[in-house]
Every structure is written in C-alpha cells, then in structure tokens.
A = this chain, B = another copy of it.
C-alpha cells in the first residue's frame, strides 16, 4: 500500500524502534540514571540567553502579522543580508542577500540543493564514514550516493580513491566537516587538493560538479583548528548551515543555504533552490526564528561543556586501551572496536548499559560512534563500564 521506495525504510525503522524499546526496557530495569546512552546527537547545552531575550522582545514589540507572516520563499531579505554580512566579517567572503536562502535546518537545505541539481541516475559522492541520511536525501531525487572508502588512520578524505570515483555521472560531492561521526576537521590542504581534483575533473569531463558542504558543526571546535570556508577554494560550492548545534535549537529547524555568485548560472540555481524550498512543502524557514537567529549570529551555546566531556571520555578510553582519533570538533568520538564486526562490541557494551552506534550505520564497520552531548555525570559514571569492556577484550594502553 505504501510506496515501494518507503517499504525498505519502514522495515528498517522497526529495527531502530527495537533499539529504542530495548533502551527503555533497560532504563526500567536498572533506572534511567544507570543507562549510559551515547547514541543520540541531541544538544544538551541550553540555547544562549540572547536567543530567549530576542524571541521575547520580538514577540512583545513587533507586529504579529510581520513576525508570523509569509515572506519570500528565500526568507526575509534583511535576515539574509545579516547572515551574509556575518559570514563576510568572519570568513572574508563577499556574500549578499541573494546568495542566502533561509531553510528548515540543514537537512532541508540539503534536500533543496539536491532537488535543484539531480536528474535520475546522477551520482553523488561522499566520504565514509558519513551521516546515513545522505543516502535518503540523494535517493529522494533518484540519485545514487557512492561513498569513498575511509582512511581509518586519519579519517581525512582519501583523495586518490576520490579522484578515481569521479565520472561523467558525478553531479555533486557532499562533505561534512567537522565530521559526524569522527569529529575530524578536514584540513585546508585537503580542501585545497579536493578542489584541485574537482576543477581538473570538471575540465576533463566538461561537466559541472558541485561541492555541497554540510556544516551544522562549524562552530563546535575545541582546538585552534580552523574550519576552512569552502566557497573560497572552489567556485561550484553550496554551503548548508544549521543553527541546531551552534545555538542549541535543533527542534526549531532553522538554517540557511549559501549559493555564491561564483557558482555557474548562480541566478538559475538560486531560483531553483528557492522553488525547491517551496514545493517540497517547507515554503519558508520558520519566520520568528529567522528573525531571532539574525540577532544571534555571533552567539554560541556554551561548548566548553562539550569540551570537558570530550577530554574526559577521550582520556579515559585511550587510557583503557581503546584506539581513537581525538575529535577536534562536533560532539562525537569514533573509536575502533577490538573486532572487525563492531556489532559484537555494541552488544557487549549493552551489558554495561552503555549504548553506542555501530560504525556500519555510517558505512564504516569496525568502529562505533559515541555522542558526548550528554551530562558530565553520564560520562563519569560510564567509565567503569568502559574499563571492564577494555579488560574483557584484553586491551592495554599503548
């Protein structure tokens, strides 16, 4: 009865529901405080105070018809101008309002970009491990997502493999840095080389290849590492941004798309993403929160909290003998399991009431993802369990 495309997704969903139900059963048995759920990427730091103040002020002072009304499908012009100006200030770019479309989060922005670009059969490349929804977003428009094999030592993109996979069918490349699930930031050198390869291939194939940069974690960085602003390295770039993590507003669904002037046929593409926003049914990004984020563009949730969690869990896990790259950004830690089939480890961890996500969910088996956007107590109280797991597998610190 439901569409063929949805059938596989509905079946798969029952697996997810099973996991969720299992977590609930576990919480009932041993108490929620004794379950260490590291499976969800849900920010647990409150939004900055200025978000609340701005929202209340707008509600109190502005005309309700204006703050809750329709506007252009691309968003309020003055909001888009403020976003452009903030980017220009911070990254030395030269955007203006017609480069910015406000979106229902980055997920919707990605859908608008892919809908605007893809014909059936077009290929989209990404780098494993990757956020599993990319596959669904690409399949929505009958595209084919292909993943470049990971370099499991550095988790920087494997550029030789990347070059070899670009064909005349390649329409777009999705990158995500800081990365979910690894926490790795792609270095400037990598972005530069990636751009060189793509330019070279565009010329060789006579095609247009778009770099779609999914950046919900851009502001979640714990070191002095710089996250390169990708439009400066490659012309055919579209940036998908979300305020979900930076301002801890994931439920409000607010973000934006950047389509720079340097993109081929920019005006046509910008019109296309705007129409896509309308006809996939979003129509526009939520109006009040467009105006709220426009006043909070230099704000950031207190990510020192995530930083402390990161240090604590990373130091403990490596001390116990687990192997992992120290994440520089986002709020995920991706660590190697003692066996190739990481699902065995996931099952064993459950005995310690520790919930983590198998790497195969990100197209990278032999690893698991731990989300450290949890309370510090959850981190600390989970450590004995991780220690016992390490001992169980005979791990030793290097």
A152 within 8 A of B: no
Give every chain B residue within 8 A of A249 (Cβ-Cβ).
68
CB distance from A307 to the nearest CB of B (A): 18
A144 within 8 A of B: no
Give every chain B residue within 8 A of A14 (Cβ-Cβ).
271
Closest to A73 in B: B13
Contact A288 B10 (CB under 8 A): no
CB distance from A37 to the nearest CB of B (A): 14
Given contacts A52-B59, A52-B64, A115-B6, contact A1 B109 (CB under 8 A): no
> How many residues from A make CB contacts under 8 Å with B?
76
Taking the full assembly, how many copies of this chain does it contain? 2
Q: Which of B46, B71, B108, B119 contacts A3 (CB 8 A)?
A: B119
Given contacts A6-B116, A56-B60, A119-B4, contact A136 B279 (CB under 8 A): yes
Q: Which of A1-54 contact B (CB under 8 A)?
A: 1-6, 9-10, 13-14, 40, 42-47, 51-52
Q: Which of A243-302 contact B (CB under 8 A)?
A: 248-253, 264-265, 268-269, 271-272, 275-276, 278-289
Annotate A218-257 by CB proximity to B: 1 below 8 A, 0 otherwise: 0000000000000000000000000000001111110000
In the complex, A10 Cα to B275 Cα: how many Å? 7
In the complex, A277 Cα to B115 Cα: how many Å? 16
Give every chain B residue within 8 A of A47 (Cβ-Cβ).
64-65, 68
Contact A111 B272 (CB under 8 A): no
Give every chain B residue within 8 A of A204 (Cβ-Cβ).
none
Q: Top 10 nearest A-B pairs by Cβ distance?
A: A251-B287, A108-B281, A111-B281, A107-B281, A136-B279, A46-B64, A2-B272, A6-B272, A47-B64, A286-B286
